[in-house]
Chains A and B, each alone.
Chain A
Amino acid sequence: MNSFFEALIALHIVVGAFFIFVGSFGLLKLPSFMSRLHAPSKSTTLGVGGCLVASMLQLWAAAGTISVHETLITFFLFMTAPVTAHFLALAYLHTQRSIDESLPKPSPNSNWSTLLNEESMTHSNSVRISEKSK
């Protein structure tokens, strides 16, 4: 294999590893929950992405084939990581009701869905969701 490709692959692995480290460090050290929440997203996108690009390059350099496995992995990661983060944020908001005064409202006449009471949760909201799904 070309030493140029070797260097390129090594660079991508190091970059990926660096971002994984950054994400983990942030997860450990950032002060509040909400700021800690977006640290792992660096690991999963840039960090894992770097390693995956390195893997694609390695396969192309060694065997000349373009592999799509890694893009699939990235695609699935991009689909699931936001959902997890969304859930974590919702759970945090739900358990920390006292912060709802400091949060900006999403629209003038309603609040974040997770902070609403049962009565103020409009019937239309839930109906809309279930109608879309049918």
Chain B
Amino acid sequence: MSIALIVLLPLLGAVFPALMMRLGKNESAIAASSVTILSLVLLLTNIFAISQSTVPQASWPWVPQIDLNASFFVDGLGLLFAVMILGIGLLVTVYARFYLSPQEALGRFFAYLLLFQGAMLGVVLSNNILLLIVFWELTSLSSFLLIGFKSDSQEGRQGARMALAVTAGGGLALLAGMLLLGQVAGSFELTEILKEGEKIRSSPYYLSILALVLIGCFTKSAQFPFHFWLPHAMAAPTPVSAYLHSATMVKAGIFLMLRLWPVLAGTQTWFYVVAGTGVITMLIAAVIALFRDDLKSILAYSTISHLGIMTMLVGFGSEMAVVACVFHVINHAIFKAALFMNAGIVDHETGTRDISRLGGLASLMPISAITATLAAASMVGVPPMNGFLSKEMMLEEVTHATAIGVAWLLPGLVMLASVFSVAYSLRFLLYTYFGPVRNDYPAKPHDPSRGLWLPPACLVVLAILIGLFPEAWAGSITRLASDAALQSKSPKFHLSLWHGWTPALMMSIFAFGCGATALSLYVPVRSIWNKALLPDAKGLYDLSLNACVRLARITTDRSFNGSLHRMLFLFVLAASALGGVVFARSSYERGERELLPINTSMFVGWVLVIVACFVLAWKHQSRLIALLTVNIVGLISSIAFIYLSAPDLALTQIAVEVVTLILMLLALHFLPKEAINEVISWRQYRDIVLSVAVGASVGFLCWAMMTHDFQSISSYYIQHSKPLGGGANVVNVILVDFRGFDTFGEITVIGIAAMAIYAMLDGMLTGPLSATLLKWTSGLRFSPNRHPMMMVVVTRVMLPLAILVACYIFLRGHNLPGGGFIAALVVSIALIMQYMASGFAWADERVHFDYHALIGGGGLIAAITGIGSIVLGKPFLTSGFKYVDFPFIGKVELASVSAFDLGVFLTVVGGVMLALANLSNLGRMTGDGKQ
């Protein structure tokens, strides 16, 4: 439990600093740091167990169906990274409290920081690779929030977006890679996967897994060619850069490579890809770092370069290289965080980060100068700093590795990179702190407050201690972490300052000399660099992004330009293409079922449908005739339903036909009675061909379906409708009971559609369109006898009869053909007849309920019926029924689905009436209506 708490505490505790901000900045900082300290204490309680080589684990099922378990474990590697995250996090918290200006939202900053902390802890402590992905993406997200913290600066926003795009894109590749890995290894738990190294390396998916996982790691750790987001992320406040972009988040990729080392490493591909990328990154970044003027930019490229070193070491594939990588992770985090904090101090005190405006600060800011010198010395690799030790180990490993059989290629490249590394580090130090004191600093530089220089000072002290007494301070943790990374005992090694006159030491001294001389030649080299044509990563990124957007816009505009004809064509084309693919791959055998002889009346009906369709296609220009033929087709479907003994469907079909007819007539009133005569072009022939193809394929599909025997689910419903649902009408029981949730969704859709119609019509009546509407006339001559008396009287007499019939249909729906939907349609038709017979104004005066309320009430009643069953402990929309003996009526069945059906009834009445009544109202507002 405590292991999960280590991760959960910062995530849940992120809200505390934001709340405590009301009390003050100190309280907020104390809240943030106490959460971190608590997590750290919980973490350190596991040290004893780990040192005895037992790995504390804990696991809870989260989504068992996809093997996603909330499993955590703390082994040496996880312990090392977690200590780094929490320790440096604590220092950054203190630093940020004093760094951020009073106008900036400190509470929100700490909240984001803690969120990131929890997510990063989740990455290093998770035992399930899917859980790791979740936390991985969470780190990308919280990094986005932190980089864009100063949301009013354009660089901040663009940098945040770029970082998110690159790292999240890598995260997607990583997800694919992890899914493949889990499939090949047979489990998604890391402890299981790490035992399956041989199986994974020899699997045919090894290369894909490697490629995808490496894309994820390289985007996160800013390796070439995905390195361009890190310098732009420097738009973040300096505490963020010190925490995320030097010590923790960018190390996530390295962490994952170390974690998966037993499984993926050992092959030639791993060596060439990983080590190669590492070396290239190391060299390129070191070169660029030398020519940057922004302090944070220099440090950013330096970070990229050092991450390249770590990647290269992981890529070597030898066990000692892994040890060297782990050791360098520790050291780099310490000195880089210190350097970033130092750059922040310089920015805070002098007001600028531009190195060309700085110099000679040593006498003005002595404490910062001392910490900066020591930290920079560590970066250069000067004894007795810790940077020197890890550099030596790195060079040692490089001399043992050969690339492409050429013994001197790798050491040569690394030497070159070291030269540049020395050069930029010396430049950073000398040009900022040493040299003549200037008189044009933007602000008066002085030593910062304790809160700003103490955190880097702590780190620098740690760096010295590790440098002087490496075995005591870093030996055991390095061994623990290496054991965990290698999943076996790490080779024997001894961390110490002096190993003798090794080739590595020679290389170091040589590199230092070259670097120092290179720096003295800086000015002419810089002028060459300034004139050189260099690829602008951000420009290319923006260009490619704009190109993608333009392509998407062109595709959308071409295919969906508002023409219904085109949309329908594309839709039908896609559906038929899909069907064609399936058709081509299936056998065309006929099934075993016997064909029945045709019933004469059904044959006549079929002929009628075909004739109607032809008439429709032939006479479609006269809109009235087209509408009538469509209704003929609908009525014949009703007859077909009756023939196939489906009275419910027939009832519904007839009612819907009537409502549709009324709706279309009301709408057609405003359209020309005759459609425009179209010119026959190739489009018509194309459409004919497509229609014939689709018609033939649907025919074949029906034939294939009807001749093959298949088992459908209808037998289950027929069997269980009475015992489980309490009703003999299977269709109705399916609608309101078995598939009640579907129906619930459908009545919601009816309500929404009706509201949309109302909104559009309302816009027509009250918006700018109403002026056009007022002038429009249909051109027809209207009879002065607006409301013929026979119609008025008959509809009025019919209304109570119709409602009685609707009630009857509603109540008997459960056991006999009927139900809420049909009843609703009958009532709607009866009501709309009032509007048609006596006019909109007359009917509207007499309708004393709001159709909107009907829709909402219906949905609410249906929902309450469903929720009622939750209250009683059953799932949503479970129904119940009981047979009750009434004195005179006899045995009556009371079922909860009646309430649900009532909801359906009300919604459909409200929806249909809303649409139809408002359409009929529209006629009043035209030029005709004023006659």
Give the B-binding residues of A (Cβ under 8 A).
79-80, 82-83, 86-87, 90, 94, 113-114, 116-118, 121, 129-130, 133
Contact = CB atoms under 8 A, between A and B. Distances in A.
B787 interface: yes
Interface residues of B, number: 17
B790 to A, nearest CB: 5
B783 A129 contact: no
Interface string B785-829: 101111110101110000000000000000000000000000000
Contact of A83 (B787, B794, B842, B931): B794
Contacts of A118: 784, 931
Contact of B796 (A87, A113, A114, A133): A133
A86 B790 contact: yes
B838 A133 contact: yes
A76 to B, nearest CB: 9
Nearest to A80: B794
Contacts of A114: 783-785
Contacts of B931: 118
Contact of B792 (A82, A113, A121, A129): A129
Most buried by B among A80, A83, A130: A83
Contacts of A121: 784-785
Contact of B789 (A79, A80, A94, A129): A129
Most buried by A among B783, B791, B797, B842: B783
Contacts of B789: 129
The 8 A-B pairs with the shortest beta carbon distances in the complex, nearest first, are A113-B785, A121-B784, A94-B783, A114-B785, A114-B783, A86-B790, A83-B794, A118-B784
A129 B791 CA distance: 12
Q: Give the dominant DSSP class at A's interface.
A: helix
Nearest to A89: B788
Contacts of A90: 783, 785, 788
Interface of B: 781, 783-785, 787-792, 794, 796-798, 838, 842, 931
Given A79-B794, A80-B794, A94-B783, A86 B788 contact: yes
Given A79-B797, A121-B785, A133-B842, 11 more contacts: A86-B791, A87-B788, A87-B791, A90-B783, A94-B783, A113-B788, A114-B784, A114-B785, A116-B784, A133-B792, A133-B796
Contacts of A129: 787, 789, 792
A109 B796 CA distance: 31
A87 B785 CA distance: 11
Contacts of B796: 133
Nearest to A119: B784
A85 to B, nearest CB: 10
A24 to B, nearest CB: 14
A29 B707 CA distance: 44
18 contacts: A79-B794, A79-B797, A83-B791, A83-B794, A86-B790, A87-B788, A90-B785, A90-B788, A94-B783, A114-B785, A116-B784, A118-B784, A121-B785, A129-B787, A129-B792, A133-B792, A133-B796, A133-B842
Contacts of B784: 113-114, 116-118, 121
Contacts of A79: 794, 797-798
Most buried by A among B794, B796, B842: B794
A117 B784 CA distance: 7
Contacts of B791: 83, 86-87
Contacts of B797: 79
A82 B790 contact: yes
A76 B790 CA distance: 15
A113 B783 CA distance: 9
Contacts of A113: 784-785, 788
B571 to A, nearest CB: 39
A66 B387 CA distance: 106
Contacts of B785: 90, 113-114, 116, 121
A72 to B, nearest CB: 10
Nearest to A91: B783
